[in-house]
Amino acid sequence: MIKLALLAAAVLVLIILVVVIVGLSLPVGHTASRQATLQAGPAQVFAVLADVERYPAWRSDVKSVEVLSRAPLRWIEHGSNGTITFEQIESDAPHRIVGKIADARLPFGGTWTYELAPSGGGTTLTITERGEVYNPVFRFMSRFVFGHTATIDRFIADLRGRAAS
């Protein structure tokens, strides 16, 4: 029984070691992008994206939002990803918004760029994440378990429901 426990512990340590080594070998930075066509026009989609105070009404991962300032727009999101402070660093209605994580204490950071283009009677939205994952274990998980586009995919699914209403 003790040999089996020692073997299990050794395997667990080996798995953790492999995760850390692979995580260390991955680049800190990554770029991930997704595109979606929405039935609403660019001005309507832009208005939904720009209204951070209403995020809890349609984003499944946001429980509450606290606006810290309007110029520049800074806010805190409380939700399933923890408590994260954001800042809008660019806004060109109804074409483009760029936001960034404004909290250097997190194990990740980066920007999201939202680009909107007319498409028939709707909008083609491209979201590009230029992210950084500082912790090698999180880097491994982000790359091989969750995928770099998981948050973007959930955001687009939530936005489809909101922009259609």
What residues make up the domain containing 136?
Answer: 2-163
Q: How far apart are the first and last CA of the chain?
A: 60
Q: What is the pLDDT of residues 95-151, one digit of tens each?
A: 999 999 999 899 999 999 999 999 998 999 999 999 999 999 999 999 999 899 999
Q: Tokens for 11, please give them.
A: 């395997």
CATH of the domain at 112: 3.30.530.20
Number of domains present in the structure of the chain: 1
Count of CB atoms situated within 10 Å of the CB of 165 = 8
Name the CA dihedral angle for 163, 90, 65, 149, rounded to a multiple of 10 degrees: 60
Please tell me the total number of residues recorded for the chain in this structure. Answer: 165
How far apart are alpha carbons 154 and 61 in whole angstroms? Answer: 8
Q: What's the pLDDT tens digit per position in 32-69? A: 999 999 999 999 999 999 999 999 999 999 999 999 99
Find, among 126, 72, 131, 71, the residue nearest to 101 by Cα: 131
